[in-house]
Structure 1
């Protein structure tokens, strides 16, 4: 069933606003409903009585830790934000749940074979993640999938061939484009005890593989990737069909069979592979693909191929918005439904043809890895739209300003739609008059203040209405605050920018308080695309996120030499936001826009005493990032030193100033590329 768009969240009041009883105290249950944490976060994330996010890495079976306290503890260890936290126990739990679902399906349908999971390295190639997955997957004979030569290097070095048995090895699925070096390496890995299955994506790969196998005298284990006619859904819906990037058409598969028959090597063909795209939101797509692939598998077996494996690829979706629908950021099935439909489809096809059922393989990288990583970042400052009207109207105000005053004072539930258009028209007229020299700068400022005051007054009325006229739909977004966050979207959440991927985002503390602000997030980059203005919602996508105002404390004046600036300065208490379910694809696909580098990463595991820090991977320093673009830090420092010497000779800079500049420059080269929260503003 399609996800029904009841309202456009970018424009109409959110569910929390419409249902809010203004006389009722805010509770953590209200925050749970607002941010939908029980829908997308179960069983790993929840809110405690203090209003902090709790993380339960082992689900309902283990202990939990307070994410806010964890962040504070890490900051005391001089680990700065932004910060990526990985929970290896969540990885282990995801593997166990997936295996358990297939085991239950196999028992339910009396399936006479086994399930073997394979982790696709491309999903997240970082060493500590691969090692944690392989270690946690040993009881299930978890294998790896390599889609390139570098990933093949990782797989061969990480999987332990000594743990393989002849009848039940951990599989090494060799996908992607392959050259001689790739194929030789994979085949020679078989000598070490690995079990590489070379999946033929193009006919020329077959001929090259067979030639190399003859030269090495190593019999290959082959698979074929088929281009199904079944169409995927969502962003990756074009992964199938005749014009798909990868795989063989049915006529090409028949060519493979004939060629292997002619060489008396048809017994080498043991696996059928297909992939209908990542994040498949609808179970119907999976059912249709399984029906088609099962028939192809059966006919390959009947043609004499030594078929043993069916690899259904990836596609097992993650419910990013918690709606449990076939919306692109969700899924209308659970892990058990997924396993049941795969097992049932191939069982029915094989029983009908009276052939043995295959070992089932999935490459569910997103479902394995997404939940285990949390990106935590701090808010540096905010920019709010002031809806406070200017001082009272003067007697000799310009007509356009008097009109705006009258509009502001007349706004009511009966006329707010009409008065909005009046205010908009008067503001445009004021700008036009200013451009032709008929308004002063001060008069234009008063006109703009009155316009925003009108918008604020109208918004205070419509936010409690069940229906909002279409022409006022964008008002909430127009009035939204900008929260400047210590983050690069391009580095840490590239899919949010590139393909409008939705990730759950919410504060990790203060959840016992009502979030009265509506905001969008702006990152540190000098790019207009460096923002997040789409957020999960109950029925669609909303363009603002409910947030708390920064807690500001006044401190004694620090600059008495400039009393005209302020009688005191302010300091903001830390305000932390978390982006969840980002463990798949984001880190490795990030880029260095504006030279913001890799962020700090901490690996956490649970133990009987609470938790322990397994690994700390420090983020890039400025010097390291400059090296990526072929700059040498020492050369740069020397160039600045020469400039300071010249400046001293020309009396443009003092000796003390030159030494301070060199010290700051040299220190900066060794520092994190992100901002140190200078909370004074």
Structure 2
């Protein structure tokens, strides 16, 4: 009878996989000895594996290059990183090694851009696409960047007032884009995105506010839907509607030359994960070219804004199982030494799934469990692993420590979780480790931040630290 955890994985998934391998009874991630990390740094522990960021950028660039060559597509491709996915310097430094551009979403993003310029990471030739709803500080910062010579800073117009607000602050001519307010899937609670301007209103808006305005030049149309880039009738229908707008706009605005198809590539969330990225890119390029040929307009340059795809698969979190609580005859709760709400907030907020695997004891017998966090909150749990509807882990044994890892957690979790600040029930933020690999395959580690302590919390809360 197959009762070992390794047997369960063998009969349930294709394993090993590109990033996951087994050495003896212990899991390796991109050849990183996770148990060695635990021995050196302890758990809970968060880490960022930097090479994965560059790897995913290279993958996407190749998919677009191959598709454009296949279809003899005459436009250019520009890869932008969506900074809101992770603003950390180490993430931007790694991403910017790969000749990419940046998409911003709020005022302080521009301060980061200026820091990157000062350090030589980007130049005036780097596109800075400014999305989001823009008011005073954001407008001021965009204007400062443009007025200081960054001519490839392009505000993407989100509402009818932004052109006037920007024009008051910016000296001379500047480029803009317009964001389409896409129509959401019927299952959404609203029909149209709050972001951007409606399909039917874009050409009239151009004729009224932009056509005779000598200060602005419309260069880009921006398209994005919440469900991301997926092979569904809904996605292709929305892309067709976007292309109709692009063609109509191009015919009255010859200087329009770029289409931003946003982000939305999925991140692997299961060992069962399947997604044909190359096919999707190929079909997008094909449809854009065919539509433009039929309308007799030049194809646009293509921009993308991949955020989660860029950084998501670089992140991980490691926890120790502290204790097991048998709450009834069917439910066993394995308690981790941290909190899901505070360290992986998407598991709580949007029921997001991540790849979850034990780090050690793969040859032990397994059991079905639930996973609970340390906060005094009934929602602090993780109760199902994608495509299995239950969590199976090596059996809890007090004398044999068990460690588990959550992988591909690199997007949004730190910022949504309030990195460096207060956390629910004052659960401390874990240590954070940066992992790199040189051209010879040698792995190096660097401690980015220590685990929070009581003094950190007391200072934020306004206490003087007198016990």
Task: Output the TM-score relative to the length of structure 1.
Answer: 0.63
CA contact (8 A) 2:231 2:280 kept: no
Q: Which one of 326, 331, 346 corresponds to residue 384 of structure 1?
A: 326
Q: Which one of 233, 240, 245 corresponds to residue 296 of structure 1?
A: 245
The 1:302–1:283 alpha-carbon spacing in structure 2 relative to 1, beyond 3 Å, is same
CA contact (8 A) 1:488 1:596 kept: yes
CA–CA separation in structure 2 for the residues paired with 1:89 and 1:106 = 26
* Paired residues, number: 460
Partner of 1:148: 106
Partner of 1:31: 9
Q: Are 1:524 and 2:466 an aligned pair?
A: no
The secondary structure found in structure 2 opposite 1:103 is helix
Unaligned runs of 5+ in 2: none
Moved more, 109-118 or 281-290: 281-290
The secondary structure found in structure 2 opposite 1:380 is strand
How far off its partner does 1:219 sit?
1.2
Q: Deviations over 1:143-179 (max 9, x none)?
A: 111110112211232257978788xx32111011212
Q: Are 1:491 and 2:342 an aligned pair?
A: yes
The 1:382–1:284 alpha-carbon spacing in structure 2 relative to 1, beyond 3 Å, is same
Q: Which one of 57, 75, 87 corresponds to residue 95 of structure 1?
A: 57
The 1:365–1:278 alpha-carbon spacing in structure 2 relative to 1, beyond 3 Å, is farther
CA contact (8 A) 1:283 1:333 kept: no
The secondary structure found in structure 2 opposite 1:535 is coil
Partner of 1:433: none
The secondary structure found in structure 2 opposite 1:155 is helix
Moved more, 190-199 or 95-104: 190-199
CA–CA separation in structure 1 for the residues paired with 2:25 and 2:151 = 50
How far off its partner does 1:110 sit?
0.7
CA contact (8 A) 1:114 1:360 kept: yes
Q: Deviations over 1:380-430 (max 9, x none)?
A: 1112368xxxxxxxxxxxxxxxxxxxxxxxxxxxxxxxxxxxxxxxxxxxx
Unaligned runs of 5+ in 1: 1-21, 57-63, 325-331, 387-451, 453-478, 553-571, 638-681
CA contact (8 A) 1:287 1:341 kept: no
The 1:251–1:545 alpha-carbon spacing in structure 2 relative to 1, beyond 3 Å, is closer
The 1:113–1:281 alpha-carbon spacing in structure 2 relative to 1, beyond 3 Å, is closer
How do 1:294-373 and structure 2 match up within 5 A?
294-324=243-273, 333-373=275-315
CA–CA separation in structure 2 for the residues paired with 1:265 and 1:354 = 28
- Superposed CA RMSD in Å reads 2.5
CA–CA separation in structure 2 for the residues paired with 1:293 and 1:550 = 53
CA–CA separation in structure 2 for the residues paired with 1:125 and 1:622 = 26
Q: Are 1:501 and 2:443 an aligned pair?
A: no
The secondary structure found in structure 2 opposite 1:363 is strand
Task: Output the TM-score relative to the length of structure 2.
Answer: 0.91
Partner of 1:209: 166
Q: Are 1:67 and 2:42 an aligned pair?
A: no
Q: Are 1:247 and 2:192 an aligned pair?
A: no
Q: Report which of the two structures shows the higher radius of gyration computed on alpha carbons.
A: 1
CA–CA separation in structure 2 for the residues paired with 1:246 and 1:349 = 25
The secondary structure found in structure 2 opposite 1:357 is coil
The 1:37–1:513 alpha-carbon spacing in structure 2 relative to 1, beyond 3 Å, is farther
The 1:232–1:130 alpha-carbon spacing in structure 2 relative to 1, beyond 3 Å, is farther
The secondary structure found in structure 1 opposite 2:371 is strand
Q: Are 1:225 and 2:174 an aligned pair?
A: no
The secondary structure found in structure 1 opposite 2:174 is coil
